[in-house]
Chains A and B, each alone.
Chain A
Amino acid sequence: MSWRRIAAVMRKEIVQIRRDRRSLLIILAMPLAQLLLNGYAVNLDARHVPLCLYDRDRSQASDDLLAHFRATDSFDVVHVSDSYADLVAHIDASACTVGVVIPTRFSERLRTEGHAAVQALVDASDSNTASLGMGYAQGIVQAYAGGVQLEWQQRHGGAAAASTIAFEPRTLFNEELESMANIVPGVIALVMAVVGSFLTSLTVAREWERGTMEQLIATPIAPFEIQIGKLIPYYAVGILDTAICAGVAVTLFHVPFRGSWIVLFGCSLLFLAAVLSLGYYISVTSRSQVAASQFAMLTTFLPTMLLSGFIFPIDQMPRVVQWITWIFPGRYYVSILRSVFLKGTPASLMLEPIAGLAAIAMILTLLAGRAFHKRLA
């Protein structure tokens, strides 16, 4: 092994990175743009569910009930319908997710028969928003019913009030239930995975396509020297990106950081080793840049978004898909990042994901090393 040769490859790679200013800019700006966008746009809490009202009763009681719906920020009243068909049309056109219908004789039945029903038509195509929306509606109607019952009991001096049970949730780690705190670790992993494998996925394929690989082969350099020399500069860029992401998350978005920076950067190094080697492996095995780029997309962006637990909880996936998630480094990294940021878990309690990450990083590095041959065609 010759450090001089490694340094030479490194220098060449750095020159190439610096020459393509725009790509470098994109690589450094992308994390920032992603964080800003996700920070502001992604909100998993489904507040402000669009709501349509249709009051067929038009009584004091129905007004009261609808006032409850208007008062909460769980719903946004977007439309007041004057016919059933109009309400259905709004649901069909996705203008509202929930349509509340108060039937005729609502107040009369409540007064004389002692029970009345309200209808909620729900566009359940988005099952998640639908179930949250139904929960909110249920809560609002319960609150209204509670008020009606209390009033009734006071007037009739009936039995002692029924007790109510409230769960006093103490939410740990993310006290405000902020999506942001939840999303930032995922975004960091996503950006790192993409940047990491994208940076390297073209580096060898490009040399093949342009014919410069033949020149490299003619030199005395060993394959692993090329690998080390080509990867180190990208390592540096990747770590810089991690630092930018983490810094912005903590300072601009006030995401709590409760763990240790050493653990964060240690694990980021492992994760980068995994994704950079993956990119390198892809680059070595596919000799065209198109194929390399598609493979990199396939193995990093989508898995890190969908199979890492970033958006979709892993423990809710079918068993087989849960096994598949084990082979993607993003899964471990997201769970480590969440723990480090929100929980402040010490490394000793995260041995499992750290070991998983390290194992994958090692396997990918070895694979990438073995795949590269200094042979023509």
Chain B
Amino acid sequence: MRYMYLVSAVEDGQPPPERLMEEMDKLAKQELAAGRMIAQGGLYPTAMGGARIELRRGKVKVIDGPFAESKEVLGGYAIFDFATREEAIASAIQFMELHAKYAEGWEGVCEMRAMFEDVDDGCAATEGAAKVNATA
């Protein structure tokens, strides 16, 4: 089963601590090599080119970022393939433990979502890009 992890936090403008970046790179390399991580990506702050387009009561409205009403916004994602949900949970906890350990004071949430797999989604094709990021 494929799972998507979506990590959100308050946008405080702080770059992540170097040690956390190193540990996450290490984890990404290990998971890519093991064939469990399919793809990953990081998103720019919402002030840098972000936009939202809403559809409400038949009306479409575009709002440029940053989004004043958002407490925590998405910062990055990863897609994994796991045999069981328990494995997926354990991996998400491991990822968040890295944050607890190496990014003191950081608060946020990792949402884990099972993915539909009945479409040719191109996700595996982004693996190369993920590898480049992981080995950079």
Chains A and B bind each other: no
Q: Which residues of A contact B (CB under 8 A)?
A: none
Q: Which residues of B contact A (CB under 8 A)?
A: none
